[in-house]
Structure 1
Amino acid sequence: MTPVVFDLDGTLIDSLGGIARAANALLAEQGLAAVPERQVAGYVGHGEHIFIDRLIADTALDAGDRAALLARFMTHYKAASRNTPLFPGVAEALARLKARGVALGLCTNKPGGPLAAVLDGLGWQSMFGAVVAGDTLARRKPDPAPLLHVFDRLGGRGVYVGDSPIDGATAQAAGVPFVLFTQGIRTVPVQDIAHDAAFDDFADLPGILDRLAG
């Protein structure tokens, strides 16, 4: 059957609140005011290095302390990741796909440390046949290399499911269909993201995948 690879943050897990708490814990340590969650959403998706650069640019954090600030943010980020909730219907959808023999993969820009905390917290150590974190390879999404690496390990190309323009661009670069989850960490209109199908309820995902497999 056609493999299915998922993004993580904003696709399977509702992680924006935890990421915002981690950022604001760092700001509080520096005696600075918190930033709103909707602002943090604009920092997410390209990995921790761009995240901290955007946070520094928007606040009074000292760019000269970047390395130390990133290390402290990662400590808070990993702690916040341990209790990240799933979006409604995710567990059931993944169970249905696995019961049908679909090979599942994970391709995320989330660093390996916080990713491990999420997978451990959810009991997902064996959920996916292949996993690539943001620091697994030398390149990250939207470069297609991480996604293609996951598909190669699953035995063939299939469908990518994500929530952001980065995910859409990654799928397009990899030459695979993209299914957009519209309730994730999305900062642009749905119509501005190239996609083959879209959904807002995970109960609809298996049927969408069947139609794409055609």
Structure 2
Amino acid sequence: MKAVIFDLDGTLIDSAPDLHIAANGMLRDEGLPKITFEQTRSFIGKGVGVLVSQVMQAVGAGNDPEEHARLLGRFMDRYEGEPKNTVFYPGVVDALARLEAMGCTLALCTNKPEEPTRIALRHFDLDRYMKVVASGDTLPVKKPDPAPLLHVMRELGTDGALYIGDSEVDAQTAQAAAVPFVLYTEGYRKSPDEQLPHAHAFDHWDKLPDIVAAHFAPSEA
């Protein structure tokens, strides 16, 4: 099986605008100061619970667990609708179609909560590509714990895959799962790409199918 597993936010789609709007809407409702777009972008990757914690810290709202739970609920009320400002990264749709035509089995492993993941997959017609989906609440743990990625592989029935992601969290997840990592360099990473362990890197989705073909070629010889 030529299994290719993807992260979602910062990899297939740029969801930072909608996350920024939801965060600032939550803060406005609470009479708290806004955060910048760059702050929001830097908070993405470890799930919305961590994002809300970092938003709270950024505006001096403390870290009380009950307050966090309340604000997380307010955030999700704003974020769970149809994505209005989220877009594909250039070339994603064509790349997925090419990978499918190459006989690849595609799946998703994201820290995004299940409901927004489901909505995004339906909205962007990605659910027709993804044979297995693990979201941020599929298991008790999230990335960078390797369990979600290994869960996807088990569900696919494979012990080998490529993992495509954009961030430190994705690189750590792949490394912990002993899965080759392909870094999309135009996403949400905070570190230089050379500091993230990866087997391959690409800056435009047009390049990914050739990387995948080269990776799986030896097994086909």
Superposition deviation, residue 115 in structure 1:
0.7
Query: What is the CA RMSD across the aligned residues, in angstroms?
Result: 1.4
Q: Contact (CA 8 Å) 2:2, 2:103: kept in 1 or not?
A: no
2:104 aligned counterpart, secondary structure: coil
Which residue of structure 2 aligns with residue 79 of structure 1? 81
Superposition deviation, residue 63 in structure 1:
4.2
Q: Which runs of 5+ in 1 are unaligned?
A: none
Which residue of structure 2 aligns with residue 179 of structure 1? 182
- The TM-score, its normalising length taken from structure 2, stands at 0.92
1:137 aligned counterpart, secondary structure: coil
- The TM-score, its normalising length taken from structure 1, stands at 0.95
Superposition deviation, residue 62 in structure 1:
5.7
Q: Contact (CA 8 Å) 2:46, 2:111: kept in 1 or not?
A: yes
Match of 1:99 among 75, 95, 101: 101
More strand by share: 2
Distance 1:50 1:101 in 2: 37
Which residue of structure 2 aligns with residue 188 of structure 1? 191
Distance 1:50 1:190 in 2: 23
Q: Which runs of 4+ in 1 moved over 4 A?
A: none
Distance 2:68 2:156 in 1: 37
Which residue of structure 2 aligns with residue 141 of structure 1? 143
Paired residues for 1:92-131 under 5 Å: 92-131=94-133
Distance 1:125 1:207 in 2: 23
Superposition deviation, residue 155 in structure 1:
2.1
Which residue of structure 1 aligns with residue 42 of structure 2? 42
Q: Which runs of 5+ in 2 are unaligned?
A: none
Alpha-carbon displacement from aligned partner over 1:135-158 (angstroms, at most 9, x marks no partner): 001111111110011111122121
Write the letter of the residue equivalent to 1:25.
G
Write the letter of the residue equivalent to 1:61.
A
What's the % identity of the aligned pairs?
43
Which residue of structure 2 aligns with residue 18 of structure 1? 18
Query: Which deviates more from structure 2 when the two are superposed, residues 26-35 or residues 95-104?
Result: 26-35
Q: Contact (CA 8 Å) 2:82, 2:123: kept in 1 or not?
A: no
Which residue of structure 2 aligns with residue 52 of structure 1? 52
Distance 1:90 1:102 in 2: 15
Superposition deviation, residue 82 in structure 1:
5.5
Paired residues in the alignment total 214
Which residue of structure 1 aligns with residue 8 of structure 2? 8
